[in-house]
Amino acid sequence: MNNIFAALPENLDTEVFERLVDSKNVTIERIVSKGHTSPETGWHDQEKNEWVIVLKGEAKLVFEDRPQVHLKEGDYINIPAHTRHRVTWTTPERETVWLTVHY
């Protein structure tokens, strides 16, 4: 048995992505951020749909074609494939723990 909050990385100089499940049709990842954002240029434009929940901390996502979303603990969103988006803010004083499901 594992725990989503166990073994959080101590060094968060860079955002940490950890694949928990990886199959042909589904990938589940734990992401740990601390003040991290997407690069200023470019967008995430993914081949698969992505369901995201913030388990701890907060984050803000901006989309190319819709308003910014502020995700707080327990908030989730489904991002359809090829919906261009990026992370503009994550909580700088503590970890933001995300769970993402790519399907």
| Structural domain count, the chain | 1
Q: How far apart are CA 61 and CA 38, in angstroms?
A: 9
pLDDT tens, residue by residue, 46-91: 999 999 999 999 999 999 999 999 999 999 999 999 999 999 999 9
> In DSSP terms, which residues pair with 30 in a beta bridge?
18, 99
Tell whether 2 is covered by a domain: no
pTM over the 0.95 mark: no
Domain housing 39: 16-102
Tell whether 8 is covered by a domain: no
Tell whether 11 is covered by a domain: no
Q: What Å distances lie between residue 81 and 6, 14, 43, 85, CA to CA?
A: 30, 25, 13, 11
CATH code of the domain covering residue 25: 2.60.120.10
Beta strands in the chain (DSSP E): 16-22, 27-33, 50-56, 59-63, 69-71, 76-79, 85-90, 96-102
Tell whether 1 is covered by a domain: no
Q: State the amino acid at position 27 in one-letter form.
A: T
